[in-house]
Amino acid sequence: MSKKIPFVTKEQVAKIAATYPTPFYLYDEKGIRETARRVNKAFSWNKGFKEYFAVKATPNPFLLQILKEEGCGADCSSYTELMMSEAVGLKEHQIMFSSNETPVEDMQLAKKMGVIINLDDITHIDFLEKVAGIPETVCCRYNPGGHFAIANNIMDNPGDAKYGMTRAQLTEAYRILLQKGVKHFGMHAFLASNTVTNAYYPELARILFKVAVELHQETGAHIEFINLSGGVGIAYKPEQPDNDILAIGEGVHKAFDEVLVPAGMGDVKIFTEMGRYMLAPYGALITQAIHEKHIYKEYIGCDACAANLMRPCIYGAYHHITVLGKEGLPCDHVYDVVGGLCENSDKFAIDRALPRIDRGDYLFIHDAGAHGFSMGYNYNGKLRSAELLLQTDGSVKLIRRAETPADYFATFDFSDFFKK
């Protein structure tokens, strides 16, 4: 079971808040580094293994730098994500570019930087050739369609996803790319999100390995790497089991030995693109209770809102909440924990059993380290918060300052409005 223990105390947060007012995001460097090392250990059996961190999950150069130091690359999907990855010193094949409905400028920058381009659609071959030229290394994204199931449990529905090529298109794409001079091929697929089972990657790997063997036999293409993408999730709820990345890695190893090695393809490199697994547990949204309301329900109002963390608002996603300093008290009060947006869905928790919350209490919203800050927005004119790093020596470092009204109005700098 997942233990939801904050990586800071009430006293630490109070000290931090004296310099950086709430709300703010706080990341745990120790946890990030330990997880990266655990992932690399889990796949150490594969000589070419590389984790390409999904930048979209937590786009912060200070965090990318930490992951780079631990041997990770970057999975990018946009122009600015490419720029950020380059800014921390990642280059060429240390970066994967997986985009869809890709703008011309994005594709041109990816080609200019020499990164690995992952084509989402067969029509993108002509598009890439026209706007940037075909490189010698190309990856193609596969969508098997239908439902993806493990042990008769449906995990997701790739057939409804807009991503990737059909099986027939994949063969055609490889043949076309061979004719255009491509020498090194990769394959990529993403079939399910936030899976909490050790079986997902091994099952996905087995599917992709079999297709890779078929593609090699059909086209003669040299498949250099297979990218399992993301999808390895975390236990957001305390009662959920944690994924065991070492067991997952060994499951992929077994499939590798049973499918690729007998086909003479034991040199294939394995890549992953995990965001949530790498960062989510090691980031928290810290907010302060500033109001309480007693009407038909009991409400606690926070200085954070859905503009800071929108997953509960748009997905109904569960994020565990700890009232710092009251970890040992009984959860004998039931609250809706809400933010201040003019939207009734702006709720971090609904009918959540918690200890009594008083104004001034600090709330630690767990597992916000991925798809948290990055999905923030400015509705109601709300400003994005600061991001802070709890370093391994216990000190706290500012890794993104909080937005100011000047930032919010900066895109009107061509006009006379807001000028003093």
Q: What is the pLDDT of residues 169-203, one digit of tens each?
A: 999 999 999 999 999 999 999 888 888 899 999 99
CATH number at 246 reads 3.20.20.10
- The total number of structural domains in the chain stands at 2
Residues 331 and 378 in one domain: yes
CATH number at 391 reads 2.40.37.10
7 belongs to a structural domain: no
pLDDT at 331: 97
Residue-by-residue DSSP string for 138-159: EEEEB---S-EEETTEEEE-GG
Residues 305 and 369 in one domain: yes
6 belongs to a structural domain: no
Q: pLDDT of the chain along its 420 residues, tens only?
A: 568 999 999 999 999 999 999 999 999 999 999 999 999 999 999 999 999 999 999 999 999 999 999 999 999 999 999 999 999 999 999 999 998 889 999 999 999 999 999 999 999 999 999 999 999 999 999 988 766 665 445 455 666 668 889 999 999 999 999 999 999 999 999 888 888 899 999 999 999 999 999 999 999 999 999 999 999 999 999 999 999 999 999 999 999 999 999 999 999 999 999 999 999 999 999 999 999 999 999 999 999 999 999 999 999 999 999 999 999 999 999 999 999 999 999 999 999 999 999 999 999 999 999 999 999 999 999 999 999 999 999 999 999 999 999 999 999 999 999 887
Q: Which two tokens stand for residue 368?
A: 């916000």
5 belongs to a structural domain: no
- Residue at a domain's end among 274, 291, 306: 274
**For residue 7, which of 199, 252, 235, 282 has the smallest C-alpha distance?**
282
- Residue at a domain's end among 274, 300, 317: 274
Domain range for 224: 43-274
pLDDT at 354: 98
22 belongs to a structural domain: no
Residues 130 and 243 in one domain: yes
CB 359 within 8 Å of CB 291: yes
Side-chain half-sphere exposure of 401, counting CA atoms within 13 A: 5
Residues 96 and 136 in one domain: yes
Tens-place pLDDT, residues 67-121: 999 999 999 999 999 999 999 999 999 999 998 889 999 999 999 999 999 999 9
pLDDT at 152: 45
Residues 264 and 301 in one domain: no
Residues 146 and 207 in one domain: yes
Residues 68 and 174 in one domain: yes
24 belongs to a structural domain: no
Exposed/middle/buried for residue 130 (C-beta within 10 Å: 0-12, 13-18, 19+) = exposed
Residues 6 or more apart whose CB falls under 8 angstroms from that of 308 comprise 23, 25, 285, 287, 339, 372, 373, 376, 382, 384, 385
193 belongs to a structural domain: yes
265 belongs to a structural domain: yes
Residues 6 or more apart whose CB falls under 8 angstroms from that of 217 comprise none
- What CA–CA distance (Å, rounded) separates 143 from 384? 36
Residues 254 and 160 in one domain: yes
pLDDT at 154: 46
The gap between the terminal CA atoms of the chain, to the nearest Å, is 56
CB 101 within 8 Å of CB 127: no
Residues 288 and 313 in one domain: yes
| Alpha-carbon distance values, 128 to 106, 110, 125, 142, 173 (Å) | 11, 10, 5, 18, 13
Residues 153 and 240 in one domain: yes
- What CA–CA distance (Å, rounded) separates 169 from 295? 58
Residue-by-residue DSSP string for 65-126: HHHHHTT-EEEE-SHHHHHHHHHTT--GGGEEEE-SS--HHHHHHHHHHTPEEEESSTTHHH
- Residue at a domain's end among 274, 292, 309: 274
Residues 395 and 246 in one domain: no
- What CA–CA distance (Å, rounded) separates 7 from 392? 12
23 belongs to a structural domain: no
Residues 239 and 115 in one domain: yes
